[in-house]
Structure 1
Amino acid sequence: MIIDCKGEQLILSKERAIYWPVKKMLIISDLHIGKSAHFRKSGIQVPNLVNQTDLQRLTALMFEFNPDTLIVTGDMFHNNINSDANGFMHWRQRFANLKVILIKGNHDTLKNEDYEALDIEVHQKELLLWPFRFIHDRPVEPDEYYSITGHIHPGVIIYGKAKQQLKFPCFYFGKHCAIIPAFSVFTGLKILDAEQGDCFYAITPAKVIAIKA
């Protein structure tokens, strides 16, 4: 789905990503590389297929949009370098010419040399590219920049005619900020309270659907 946001054209992908054509930028959040391995280390059996699926989806987006830059608005890595992260290392080598920018989230605790080894440009707080601010969590006080954030893993409930309900990940666009769905499939959903004028874009298996508050 193509939308207009602050005079800029953005493409919302059902693979939980935003593409900004004029900048040739792919924008995602909450990739959580290493989360499944972290759980396995704690004795919780989560298949490695989770991490592989996320990287396969990211690869498909590379071929679909051919971006120059990948922006991750936080929680790119879940904790430390582990077996799942090793899979990302191979992915990074495959797309060595891609510029990768990370705005740090609460789970991004790798050492500086780890990011350098993966050729990832790190921003501690935010990245300003007019008219957008890329940041992990939405600022308390709005300003002239429109914030594009992650962290919350937004979801929406769609109600059917027979009173059935389905939950889907979604893109949220409010007055002052947007929230990107978690890219990783191994995450929960937070149903957001809507205010008048808010826009939700539900990600169904087939397509992105616009829902007005």
Structure 2
Amino acid sequence: MTRSISIRNQEFILHPIGGILWVEKSMLLISDVHLGKIAHFRKFGAAVPQKAIHKNFILLDELINDFKPFQVCFLGDLFHSSLNKEWHFFENWVKKTPSEIILIAGNHDIIAPEKFQKIGIKIFEELEIDEFLLTHHPTERDDFFNFCGHIHPAVRLRGFGRQRLKLSCFFKKKKQLILPAFGEFTGTYVLEPSKEDEVYAIVEDEVVKI
């Protein structure tokens, strides 16, 4: 189940797969997919199943089918490292995806820009759209609300009997929203919210405000 929130009179829909639709712009925001990471692990002997490589593409298709956005904006770390065989899967995915695709470059995006440009993907360091700033690293700038990634945010919940649960989340501050990592095997970093922060945890197929 998705959850709709309003930021500066714009509507944003949080999806439990980990993306956000900016309704007025028909733009889907996704961060930290880290394509190629699984192939990288397998190359160096990690016991990661081959079928895990396709999981990210299945989830990307599900998001796009649900929202049918005009544009998909990856907020950095689309690829985990240098070229490997997952690039070919990505090329095929781009060819069959009807949405325009853009990339805000992250620290892991070391593949030559020409490779992206060749398949029709534009790369930016950041984007300013109206009152919103799209970046990879969390960035504060006067008068802008920042959408970003990089942190792989999670929240830890504590229950009775010393029960603990760590959940990926959308972490919203007064002027910033940090998206969860989209990719499989990316890991998370627990953030401690203040009273002013809003946390939207991903619980199975639902986005739940904590």
Aligned AA (2:151): I
The aligned residue for residue 31 of structure 1 is 33
1:173-212 equivalent positions in 2, closer than 5 A: 173-211=172-210
Aligned length: 208
TM-score normalised per structure 2: 0.95
Q: Paired residue for 2:93? A: 91
Q: Give the aligned partner of residue 40 of structure 1.
A: 42
Instruction: Name the CA distance, whole Å, in 2 between partners of 1:51 and 1:69.
Output: 24
Unaligned runs of 5+ in 2: none
Distance 1:191 1:161 in 2: 20
Q: How far, CA to CA, are the matches of 1:206 and 1:77 in structure 2?
A: 25
**1:196: how far off?**
2.0
SS of the residue corresponding to residue 60 of structure 1 reads helix
Q: Which residue of 2 aligns with 1:115?
A: 116
Q: Distance in 2 between matches of 1:143 and 1:48?
A: 45
Deviation at 1:197, TM superposition (A): 0.9
RMSD: 1.2
Cα contact 2:17–2:205 (8 A) shared by 1: no
CA distance in 2, matches of 1:142, 1:198: 18
Residue equivalent to 1:5: 7
Q: Measure how far apart 1:156 and its partner are.
A: 0.7
Alpha-carbon contact 1:48-1:84 (below 8 Å) kept: no
Measure, in 2, the Cα distance between the counterparts of 1:206 and 1:58: 15
Could you tell me whether the CA contact under 8 Å between 1:31 and 1:75 is conserved in 2?
Answer: yes
Gaps of 5+ in 1: none
Cα drift, residue 7 of structure 1: 1.7
Deviation of residue 158 (structure 1)?
Answer: 2.0
Structural mapping, 1:62-211, within 5 Å: 62-95=64-97, 97-123=98-124, 125-139=125-139, 141-211=140-210
Deviations 1:102-140 (A, max 9, x none): 0000000111221112211100x210112211100112x
**Cα deviation code 1:160-193 (max 9, x no counterpart):** 3343111110000001211000001211110112
Find the aligned partners of 2:78 and 2:205 in 1 and give their Cα distance: 26
TM-score, scaled relative to structure 1: 0.93
TM-fit CA distance, 1:46: 1.9
Name the CA distance, whole Å, in 2 between partners of 1:51 and 1:152.
22
Deviation by residue 1:13-40 (Cα, 9 ceiling, x = unmatched): 0000001111111100001110111112
User: Which residue identity is paired with 1:168?
Assistant: L
